[in-house]
Amino acid sequence: MRLPFLTEIKFLRTKDKIRFPFGRVLSLGIFCLFLMILPAGAEELKPADLHFKEGPLSRETSEKQTVSPQTKGLPANHHVREDVRKLEYPETTGRIPSLRIFFQGLPDVPYLGFITAQKLGYYKEAGLPEVQLLWMNESQDACELLMLGQADFVSAWMIEGYLACAGGQPIVAISQTAQRSSCGVCVRKIPGSEIQNIEQLDGKKIGIWCRKEGIPRFFFAHKQMHPEFIVQNSFSFFLMKKKVLDALFYTSYSAKTFAEIYKRRDMFTFFDFDTYGVNIPEDALFCRRSFIKRYPDIAEKFVRASWKGWKFVADNPQEAIQMLREQRIRFSLSADSVQLRKQLQVWMDILMLDANLDQNGHCSKDGFAQMRTGLIKNGTLHKDAPHYEDFFYNILDPKDRIRIKK
């Protein structure tokens, strides 16, 4: 669409004179100047601030890294150089000036508890330093930020954090938010060539999300199927319509709710992974092992205040949705309250919030065992990969807090 004042610049000829359109050129100049000064006036946490310089764990250098013997089958971005593995969290004297938490994505329903906790001052009430909620796009690696010293906590999927830990990164999970899987793949119903069952996707093209590809790869390896994965940065039904993809990886709180709200559910077939016996928990909180050993009280206060935020969301969904809409509008994201409210209803079933906040954050040992065993069985990890007790410490559990100090 062409803006009204950005018309084509032409030399307008009269009978014997040539008139230059100074007004139009001036409008174009003002518009360009506006674009140049816009970033300087943006608020804190603007998307431009989310990029970081390539460090020792970048994709470009990962192939040259020394590989841990227990992670021979890992993707290149999960390997860690020996010298990087020995890095410790920077020594801090006195009070920590701020806490930085990065999310593997932009403001969305799975992060609403953190947004409300900050908005309502729960972190401040807990006596924590300033808490910065920082957002990143799907092409960036949240766990890598811990290694680069750019984050104190990150929110990412359990399998991604575990693969990073198995690859030698000294990170641990300290709270599990998603208690069950919400993942699956969907296909578009096409007369004459409709895919009726999951087995028909063997050898087909499936779109998966960058940095959230661990679960779909795990699922199809578990099913002994070999589809062609196409990594993309966003979810789009359009790619199936154009037959670029045969199927799309999805989460139920996003794709299914979208299809239901816009009355397109009958256009797609959804295959939920948990109906095929794969139920790996998703979103979790991670930090460096050295951080939690030095500052266990800070980690505990942060996690407890975050769960208090989720309690507010459960009790006040309308007000919480409005807080999320404000964040999404800042990033020029869709902020449809009806869709967000439906997504929140689905997400709260995945969260399984307990009224007693100290009872939250546990990770299913059965789900973890399925993940670890499957990764070893399909050759991604070796049999000496980290066990549950070496990787997960629920910071709200007194017994796990004792284990942290050992």
3-state secondary structure the chain: CCCCCCCCCCCEECCCCEECCHHHHHHHHHHHHHHHHCHHHCCCCCHHHHCCCCCCCCHHHHCCCCCCHHHCCCCHHHCCCHHHHCCCCCCCCCCCCEEEEEECCCCCHHHHHHHHHHHCCHHHHCCCCEEEEEECCCCCCHHHHHHCCCCCEEEEEHHHHHHHHHCCCCEEEEEECCCCCCEEEEEECCCCCCCCCHHHHCCCEEEEECCCCHHHHHHHHHCCCCCEEEEECCCCCHHHHCCCCCEEEEEHHHHHHHHHHCCCHHHEEEEEHHHHCCCCCCEEEEEEHHHHHHCHHHHHHHHHHHHHHHHHHHHCHHHHHHHHHHHHHHCCCCCCHHHHHHHHHHHHHHHCCCCCHHHCCCCCHHHHHHHHHHHHHCCCCCCCCCCHHHHECCCCCHHHHHHHHC
- Residues 6 or more apart whose CB falls under 8 angstroms from that of 403 comprise 389, 393
How much is the pTM?
0.76
Structure tokens at 380: 């991604």
Contacts 24+ apart (CB under 8 A), 30-34: 31/3, 31/5, 31/6
Alpha carbons 257 and 251: distance in angstroms, whole number: 10
Mean pLDDT score of the chain? 78
pLDDT tens, position by position, 130-174 = 999 999 876 678 888 888 889 999 999 999 999 999 999 999 999
Q: Residue 177 in contact with residue 189, Cβ under 8 Å?
A: no
Q: Where residue 7 falls among pLDDT bands split at 50, 70, 90?
A: very low
Mean pLDDT (whole number) for 208-223: 85
Percentage with pLDDT > 90 across the chain: 51
Mean pLDDT (whole number) for 111-117: 97
pLDDT computed for residue 24 by the predictor:
61
Mean pLDDT (whole number) for 182-195: 82
- Residues 6 or more apart whose CB falls under 8 angstroms from that of 108 comprise 324, 328
Q: CA distances (Å), 146 to each of 55, 142, 303, 304, 352, in order? A: 12, 7, 17, 21, 28
What is the signed CA dihedral for 190, 192, 196, 202, rounded to 10 degrees? -90
pLDDT computed for residue 259 by the predictor:
67
pLDDT computed for residue 18 by the predictor:
46
When comparing pLDDT for 62 and 77, which is higher? 77
Mean pLDDT (whole number) for 7-22: 45
Q: Where residue 44 falls among pLDDT bands split at 50, 70, 90?
A: very low
* HSE-up (13 A, CA, CB side) for residue 276: 19
Q: Which residue in 288, 282, 291, 287 sits closest to 250, CA to CA?
A: 282
Q: Where residue 82 falls among pLDDT bands split at 50, 70, 90?
A: very low
pLDDT computed for residue 172 by the predictor:
96
Q: Where residue 53 falls among pLDDT bands split at 50, 70, 90?
A: very low
When comparing pLDDT for 323 and 94, which is higher? 323
pLDDT tens, position by position, 275-308 = 999 999 899 999 999 999 999 999 999 999 999 9
Mean pLDDT (whole number) for 354-368: 92
Q: Which of 28-42, 259-273, 338-352 has the highest mean pLDDT?
A: 338-352
Q: Where residue 75 falls among pLDDT bands split at 50, 70, 90?
A: very low
Percentage with pLDDT > 70 across the chain: 71
pLDDT computed for residue 226 by the predictor:
94
Mean pLDDT (whole number) for 183-212: 84
When comparing pLDDT for 44 and 249, which is higher? 249
pLDDT computed for residue 23 by the predictor:
62
Is it the case that residue 6 has pLDDT exceeding 90?
A: no
When comparing pLDDT for 43 and 382, which is higher? 382
Q: Where residue 218 falls among pLDDT bands split at 50, 70, 90?
A: very high
Is it the case that residue 401 has pLDDT exceeding 60?
A: yes
Q: Where residue 57 falls among pLDDT bands split at 50, 70, 90?
A: very low
